Amino acid sequence: MNKRPEWLDNAVFYEIYPQTFRDTDGDGIGNINGITEKLPYIKELGCTAIWINPCFDSPFGDAGYDVRDYLKVAPRYGTNDDLVRLFEEAHKLDIHILLDLVPGHTSWEHPWFKESMKAERNEYTDRYIWTDSIWESPEGYGSLRGISERDGSCAVNFFTHQPALNYGFYKPDRPWQQAMDSEGALATREAMKNVMRFWLSKGCDGFRVDMAGTLVKNDDDGKGNVALWQDIRAFLDKEFPEAAMVSEWGEPRQSLAGGFHMDFLLHFGESHYNDLFRCEKPFFGGSGDASAFVAKYTDSYERSGRKGLICIPSGNHDMDRLAYHIHGDNRKLAFAFLLSMPGAPYIYYGDEIGMNYVEGLVSKEGGYGRTGSRTPMQWDGSANAGFSTAPAEKLYLPTDPDADRPTAEAQLNDENSLRSEVKKLIGIRKAHKALQSLGDIEFVCDGAPGKPLAYIRSSENERIFVAVNPTDIPAKLTVDAKPGEKVYSFGGEPEITPDSITVQGGSAVFVKLA
């Protein structure tokens, strides 16, 4: 495996949606300086790294995932100098910053695409995926057509205004489908390396890569995308060997082979992640079933060589808030799980205080149903929850109207709050290598209906038994070694004997094994 930055071994990430984190200039939109201002808050919580959603220049048809200029901070967030200052101030606090790299598509306002639309050939003609005829759409993709003098239809990713960049086809089967080693596909690859080179040279610590496994098309088994990222990893190893790379791929066997250090567990596909937090009867709601998740997780873990590098987020900007489906103390149990699993945990801003999903909002910048998870961070009880001094009607999105909405300030001063429990759990994770990213995991109980999740984390000479039981039913679990020191517990006290641990309903416990 490629060199891994050592700080990843004990990383706890905090995801920031910059539009709604903290506004310092009173225009109603969060900015880079707002993130810098709140670094001490993130440090105090215990997080060691930050993932910032796209902050580059954009027309914001898709909240910044439609990039217009990869090398320029969006003016509404500040300047490139502001971002460099954020890197510097974060590093002073031993916090690392990952930027969100969106290599699969751009905005249709990107200069590359404007040149690509021209009829005469130029260096950008093959930067995007075009068919040879306006009458042929790329099969399996949406397309742009009839918008320029160029003959052909252009493939798009997701929204109409996001033309797909050309990294080639693993198995071309149409005359217009270029191979991975074609001049156009290789030029796109080099252009993205230049983007990475630009920000890494300014102090960025690496990238979270959007939909990393989809760049090469007609690639059902992932071999083309693995080869693409192996080439990019070779470039990084030569010029920026400490650059951290985390993929949104959902197949760690492939992404780790491609040179990524960690892979996100996706909330769609076959991961069964939603069985835990977001379904009609989620496991952490108290009456769900985690067994399919455990089966899929174990399969991915084994197939990736038991590297323990599958990242599980509390949520993100693309899904309902954790607190929407999980209530009361079960939220603390959910974090006991998230912060005791292998791979780097990711906390979506505000999840640590139980921010709500705000229903009934009009879609903002392509958010649609996701908009309710992107509302302003709730810092305190002042106007606009301390997010901005702008008039309420000028805010990027309205704040949660609930009179009992949680705030960071209130929870900082409450030792029984969700945030205080999250902080405690992060501290315990940091203190025990077995609970960190690279510690091994062996499941003892799979969270089938009425049963807890239980597993043993181990590293070198340390073994810790973890059980999380959101059900109402106590569970007696046999252990293969004598239980020792209790590292953590929440809820009812466990009953510990020389060969078993009984976990009460609505509780969690971490116990060292002799």
236 has pLDDT over 50? yes
The tens digit of pLDDT for each residue in 409-436 reads: 999 999 999 999 999 999 999 999 999 9
Structure tokens at 338: 């998230």
CB atoms inside a 10 Å sphere around CB 146:
7
Cα–Cα distance between 2 and 4 in angstroms, integer? 6
Q: What pLDDT shows up at residue 422?
A: 98
User: What are φ and ψ of residue 213, in 5° steps?
Assistant: -90, 10
The tens digit of pLDDT for each residue in 160-171 reads: 999 999 999 999
User: What domains are defined for the chain?
Assistant: 6-102+186-428 (3.20.20.80), 105-164 (3.90.400.10), 441-513 (2.60.40.1180)
Question: Is residue 154 very low, low, confident or very high in pLDDT (cuts 50, 70, 90)?
Answer: very high
The tens digit of pLDDT for each residue in 453-485 reads: 999 999 999 999 999 999 999 999 999 899 999
Q: What is the mean pLDDT of residues 58-77?
A: 98
Nearest to 205 by CA among 50, 426, 2, 38: 50
CA atoms within 13 A on the CB side of 131: 21
Question: Is residue 265 very low, low, confident or very high in pLDDT (cuts 50, 70, 90)?
Answer: confident
Give every strand in the sheet of 475-478, ordered side by side. 475-478, 500-503, 495-497
Q: What pLDDT shows up at residue 307?
A: 79
Strand pairing of 96-101 and 49-52? parallel
Q: What pLDDT shows up at residue 498?
A: 94
Mean pLDDT value across the chain: 96
378 has pLDDT over 90? yes
Question: Between the CA of residue 10 and those of 400, 468, 512, what are the distances in Å?
Answer: 33, 22, 19
Residues of the chain above pLDDT 90, percent:
94
Identify the residue with better confidence: 251 or 321: 321
Pair 115, 124: CB distance under 8 Å:
yes
Question: Is residue 221 very low, low, confident or very high in pLDDT (cuts 50, 70, 90)?
Answer: very high
Q: What pLDDT shows up at residue 439?
A: 96
70 has pLDDT over 60? yes
251 has pLDDT over 60? yes
Structure tokens at 186: 């290789």
> Tokens 């890494």 — which residue?
200
Question: Is residue 1 very low, low, confident or very high in pLDDT (cuts 50, 70, 90)?
Answer: very low
Query: Can you give the three-state secondary structure of 275-326, one letter per residue?
Result: HHHCCCCCHHHCCCCCHHHHHHHHHHHHHCCCCCCEECECCCCCCCCHHHHC
Question: Is residue 395 very low, low, confident or very high in pLDDT (cuts 50, 70, 90)?
Answer: very high
Identify the residue with better confidence: 309 or 219: 219
User: What's CA 85's distance to the chain center, in Å?
Assistant: 23
The tens digit of pLDDT for each residue in 20-56 reads: 999 999 999 999 999 999 999 999 999 999 999 999 9
241 has pLDDT over 50? yes
Query: Helix 418-431 to helix 330-338 angle, to the nearest 10 degrees?
Result: 20
Question: Is residue 2 very low, low, confident or very high in pLDDT (cuts 50, 70, 90)?
Answer: low
Cα–Cα distance between 128 and 83 in angstroms, integer? 29
502 has pLDDT over 50? yes
